[in-house]
């Protein structure tokens, strides 16, 4: 990724400008040379551009999360925390269900937060972790603000607020001494952040942040939220963009309140923020305090879910001011309050698998998937694509498959082709999983013709290999075991479910597991005819 140096936006002398360009170039060069940041920027751009109004976006977000085992586990852990889980108190065991119950924008914002933490948390731990905590807290404050906005897609504020301090975060990561000097001026009360960055760095760090987000190809609507607002009491915004700018600034300024227990909060800061933003954003003291309290709980859950929390012994001191202190009281009690014992259960399940990768408790996991599908179908609010993704995810997680796909008939093109999939290299395999409708004697056509479910424990035996079509052998040369579930209704061959593993699976499928697999298949057929 090439990051261009933007023109300096400050009024400086020629010598000062030369110095500022020099340090800005140095900072940009260090950021550019970090091999992780181009990947982070590309991933952030992919997620940010997904829209809750686009049906395909839900599937893409599910697939993006599922393609990363660590990200999947962290999102599921977060979904089951007290601050985020649904009122039903049922454990959320799939990403698709998390999106259905928590909302697309919530899962999207959490995925972005986890990516940011994973990419940055190991750099100069003390200061970077502090700025990451600030970013998460600002994002959760934005989540609360969005609930009171009358503008469409107000939830985008959670994403915008997450990146408000990206300039400070990068400075802390690569030049911790400069960061400390700049923040010391801010904490002394003699300088605003913009004034401190201009004095210590000779350029505005917020302008640098705009440059970075532009290079990451984030939408202009988010980048524009970084623009500073006029001094004094703000007027009620007439446009969504103006509301976003005001809201992002409030989210950033309110972080010290979010991080501080209620009995220790800075009353003066609270009063200043209410005076400046209260009328514009329709906040009184009661609503403001409610938002701060909720954002604090959500931010703590997000810290835990993203594995940003450290023990009090390891964390050490905060930033040297009560308002910036990271060590919050009774941390262990908060952890117990906020998080289910969900991760430990997942760990047990993951450890207890057959050599093929199939979990020992496959029937239990399949049953949970069946219940999730029933619950979503009963709501009447689901989209068929979401339901299919949930079933694919259930097969993938419950039976330890590498790749799972739904293949459907395309009459116009005269072929069956994979329409949706999850798992390893899913996009590559999905593109290649295409075969003609014309009847042949290969395994896939025979399964649909006879409407029989096939579980192949060893794909290498000759009687199986002889029935595999050439296109499949070329696409999947290393398959050790696989499953084919035809979708046939009243003699009408609609397609099939396909799932595979790299290893042989001599344990096969039990009678109870097969019953649940057939139930999931029947649910999909029913949904296809009613949607």
Q: Are residues 299 and 386 in the same domain?
A: no
User: Is residue 309 domain-resident?
Assistant: yes
- CA 456 to CA 49: how far, in whole Å? 40
Q: How high is the pLDDT of residue 514?
A: 96
User: Is residue 484 domain-resident?
Assistant: yes
Q: Are residues 315 and 395 in the same domain?
A: no
Measure CA of the first residue to CA of the last residue in the chain; give whole Å. 44
Q: Are residues 69 and 182 in the same domain?
A: yes
- CA 258 to CA 214: how far, in whole Å? 29
- In this structure, what CATH number is given to the domain that contains residue 225? 1.10.3210.10
- CA 206 to CA 74: how far, in whole Å? 30
Final residue before a domain boundary, out of 304, 322, 340: 322
User: Is residue 345 domain-resident?
Assistant: no
The answer for 357, left when phi > 0, alpha when psi is -120 to 50, beta otherwise, is left
User: Is residue 142 domain-resident?
Assistant: yes
Q: Are residues 318 and 355 in the same domain?
A: no
- CA 413 to CA 382: how far, in whole Å? 28
pTM score = 0.73
User: Is residue 12 domain-resident?
Assistant: no
Q: Are residues 56 and 122 in the same domain?
A: yes
- CA 153 to CA 244: how far, in whole Å? 10
CB atoms within 10 A of CB 506: 11
- CA 134 to CA 154: how far, in whole Å? 21
Q: How high is the pLDDT of residue 418?
A: 96
CA distances in angstroms from 353 to 96, 141, 360, 417, 460, listed in the order given: 23, 41, 5, 31, 22
CA distances in angstroms from 13 to 16, 21, 201, 493, listed in the order given: 5, 12, 14, 76
Q: Are residues 302 and 212 in the same domain?
A: yes
User: Is residue 340 domain-resident?
Assistant: no
Q: Are residues 132 and 47 in the same domain?
A: yes
- CA 85 to CA 274: how far, in whole Å? 30
Q: Are residues 370 and 504 in the same domain?
A: yes
Q: How high is the pLDDT of residue 39?
A: 81
Supply the Cα-derived Rg of the chain in whole angstroms. 26
Ranges of residues in the chain with a pLDDT under 50 are 1-17, 19-20, 310-351
- In this structure, what CATH number is given to the domain that contains residue 482? 3.30.450.40
User: Is residue 135 domain-resident?
Assistant: yes
Q: Are residues 238 and 378 in the same domain?
A: no
Q: Are residues 362 and 314 in the same domain?
A: no
Number of domains in the chain: 2
Q: How high is the pLDDT of residue 171?
A: 92
Q: How high is the pLDDT of residue 379?
A: 82
3-state secondary structure (DSSP) of residue 421? strand
Q: How high is the pLDDT of residue 326?
A: 40
Q: How high is the pLDDT of residue 531?
A: 63
Q: Are residues 366 and 304 in the same domain?
A: no
User: Is residue 339 domain-resident?
Assistant: no
Q: Are residues 289 and 422 in the same domain?
A: no
Range of the domain at 470: 351-530
């Amino acid at each position: 990724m090439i990051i261009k140096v933007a023109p300096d936006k400050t009024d400086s002398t020629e010598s000062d400008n030369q110095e500022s360009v020099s340090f800005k170039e140095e900072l940009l060069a260090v950021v550019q040379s970090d091999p992780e940041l181009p990947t982070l920027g590309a991933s952030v751009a992919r997620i940010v551009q997904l829209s809750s109004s686009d049906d395909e976006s839900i599937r893409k977000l599910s697939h993006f999360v599922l393609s990363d085992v660590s990200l999947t586990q962290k999102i599921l852990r977060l979904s089951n925390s007290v601050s985020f889980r649904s009122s039903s108190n049922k454990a959320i065991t799939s990403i698709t269900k998390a999106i259905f119950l928590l909302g697309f924008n919530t899962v999207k914002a959490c995925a972005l937060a986890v990516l940011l933490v994973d990419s940055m948390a190991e750099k100069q731990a003390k200061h970077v972790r502090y700025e990451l905590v600030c970013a998460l807290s600002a994002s959760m404050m934005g989540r609360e603000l969005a609930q009171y906005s009358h503008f469409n897609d107000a939830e985008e504020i959670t994403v915008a607020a997450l990146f408000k301090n990206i300039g400070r975060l990068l400075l802390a990561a690569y030049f911790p001494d400069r960061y400390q000097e700049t923040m010391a001026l801010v904490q002394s009360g003699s300088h605003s952040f913009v004034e401190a960055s201009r004095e210590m760095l000779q350029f505005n760090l917020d302008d640098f942040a705009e440059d970075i987000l532009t290079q990451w190809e984030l939408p202009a609507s988010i980048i524009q939220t970084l623009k500073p607002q006029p001094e004094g009491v703000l007027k009620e915004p007439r446009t969504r963009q103006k509301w976003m700018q005001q809201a992002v600034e409030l989210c950033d300024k309110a972080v010290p309140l979010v991080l501080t227990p209620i009995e220790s909060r800075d009353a003066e800061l609270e009063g200043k923020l209410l005076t400046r933003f209260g009328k514009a954003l329709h906040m009184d003291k009661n609503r403001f305090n409610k938002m701060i309290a909720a954002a604090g709980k959500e931010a703590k859950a997000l810290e835990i879910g993203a594995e940003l929390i450290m023990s009090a012994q390891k964390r050490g001191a905060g930033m040297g001011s009560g308002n910036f202190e990271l060590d919050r009281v009774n941390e262990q009690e908060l952890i117990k309050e906020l998080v289910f014992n969900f991760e430990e259960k997942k760990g047990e399940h993951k450890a207890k698998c057959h050599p093929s990768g199939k979990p020992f408790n496959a029937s239990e996991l399949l049953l949970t998937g069946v219940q999730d599908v029933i619950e979503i179908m009963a709501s009447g609010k689901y989209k068929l694509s979401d339901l299919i993704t949930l079933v694919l995810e259930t097969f993938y997680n419950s039976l330890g498959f590498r790749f799972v796909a739904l293949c459907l008939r395309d009459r116009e093109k005269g072929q069956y082709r994979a329409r949706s999939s999850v798992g390893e290299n899913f996009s590559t395999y999905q593109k290649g999983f295409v075969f003609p409708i014309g009847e042949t004697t290969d395994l896939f056509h025979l399964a649909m013709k006879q409407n029989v479910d096939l579980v192949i424990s060893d794909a290498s035996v000759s009687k199986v290999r002889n029935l595999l079509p050439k296109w499949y052998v070329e696409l999947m040369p290393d398959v050790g075991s696989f499953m084919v579930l035809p979708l046939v209704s009243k003699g009408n061959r609609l397609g099939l479910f396909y799932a595979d593993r790299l290893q042989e699976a001599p344990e096969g499928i039990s009678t109870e597991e097969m019953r649940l697999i057939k139930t999931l298949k029947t649910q999909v057929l029913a949904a296809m005819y009613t949607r």
